[in-house]
Amino acid sequence: MSSTAKVARVHEAGGPEVPLRENLPVALALNEELAGPVVTAAPVKLCDRISSIDVLRGVALLGILVLNIEEFGGVEAFHDIPVGGPIDNFAGPHAQMNLILLFIKWMFFEGKMRGIFSMLFGAGVILLTSRGERRGNEDVADIYIRRNLLLMLFGILHDCFIWSGYILFDYGFEALLFLYPFRKLKAKTLLWIGTLLSLTVATIGMVLFQGAGRDLQFSRDAAKIRAQQSLGRPVTRQQKQILDQWQARIDSEAITPAGIKQEVAEAELPYFSDVLNRAQKEFQGGFYVLHIDLMVDMVSAMLIGMGLMKIGFFSAELPVSTYVWTALIGFGISLPLTAIGVVRVYASHFYFLDVEKWLFLPYYIERESGSLAICAVVLLSVKAGICTAPQRWLAAVGRTAFSNYVLTSIICQTIFLWGPWKLFGKLAYYQEMYVVFGVWTFNLLASSLWLRSFGFGPLEWVWRSLTYGTIQQMPASKHQTV
């Protein structure tokens, strides 16, 4: 099909098919063809939404709970590895099941869901600013600033009063600090900058400053000194100090009953004590600004997402072969790296140095490639028109992602800490997945039912009303602004 004959299809059944102008991305074509010469700032209309982006956002929103459930449900010694809690997940009759779940999580969820979210956030910057600028709005920058300042505020409130998942603040902060000036760059430039940032700063910088590189060198120095001792050679005071420091480092990573008990006690503080505790930790950390690791983590993916939006990747308008090769190459890189890493850390009984070396050192290489591969598979299903009912459900979750994210935090906090069940630290890893499936079911059903009567989620309504300075109408309509 020629480029002039392509059509952009919207999510709603019976929605309009709009001819796509040559060399103009779907998102911008939709806005230009349907919107007309409007100069008043307003949210995007429902009939203008790009269904493929909503589906992807729904996938990422649901998938992120696979990672967050461990922090909701108990303590862990390492990031997204279910060890170090009151229950030994890798001993007993369910050890193999938990290991399989660990493989699945690290190969298809760990980092990838956050990567997809970040890419889509970058794509949203292009959608928001390009739409306003093409319509002749003079207050695009003001809207952009208000929108992201509000997101930062929501992030603070969520972190302090619900759960310490501060990603909302980081998204708003990074959008204000980095993304707006990049919106005018060419797609190829954005893709190169994002990729290079991911491969250099995100990999090398994160390793050096988060400890993996330091620990690896530290262990080598200690091994050389021990080898010298085994030969009967004397060690210097400085070498003895190195051995003591390395032993202290090992001890700091040791999983002890006392440490587990302390972690559980801190998590089970009364609600207002927990609020004060979280607020104190965050504000003592420099009013959130010192979340440098997450900045590096997400900005690279956001820039890649901006570039992909400009070439029409997320709007599913590229050739099928592009998505097939993206999936094959992406999984070809990410799956072997991740599988080898999980095997090695499991064989070492989750020795912290092996966790750093085999899972965190290659983290960003397999994260970006895996994120793109998953996006490609989802977009292939959108282009092929298969699984249309699940796509509608996922798109509903994607359209109400903000509300679903906060609601998921409230549900999980109620299940594990606030409610009468007090399940924190009491479920095995495979049992936590039951909670995940239950919350997923609720997200899918509630979102679909809500959007039958309303144009967008309740928190989306608050966010948009405050951003545009007018109360948004809530009844659902194909021409309702969302």
Q: Write out the chain's pLDDT in tens, 482 residues.
A: 433 333 333 333 333 333 333 334 443 433 333 333 334 555 656 556 789 999 999 999 999 999 999 999 999 888 899 999 999 999 999 999 999 999 999 999 999 999 999 999 999 999 999 888 887 777 899 999 999 999 999 998 999 999 987 789 889 989 998 999 999 999 999 999 999 888 876 556 555 545 556 777 788 889 999 998 888 888 898 999 999 989 998 898 888 889 899 989 988 999 999 898 887 776 665 444 455 666 767 899 999 999 999 999 999 999 999 999 999 999 999 999 999 999 999 999 999 889 988 888 888 888 999 999 999 999 999 999 999 999 999 999 999 999 999 999 999 999 999 999 999 999 999 999 999 999 999 999 999 999 999 988 999 999 999 999 999 887 664 444 43
Q: What are phi and psi of 81, to 5 degrees?
A: -130, 120
Quick one: 258 exposed, middle or buried, by C-beta within 10 A (0-12, 13-18, 19+)? exposed
* CA gap 432, 105 in Å, rounded: 13
Distance linking the first and last C-alpha atoms of the chain: 31
8 Å CB contact between 150 and 398 = no
* CA gap 306, 29 in Å, rounded: 17
320-324-330-335 Cα dihedral, nearest 10 degrees: 150
8 Å CB contact between 85 and 74 = yes
Report the amino acid identity of residue 82: P
Q: What are phi and psi of 362, to 5 degrees?
A: -90, 15
37-68 pLDDT tens trace: 334 555 656 556 789 999 999 999 999 999 99
Residue 156 tokens, joined: 């603070």
This prediction's pTM:
0.87
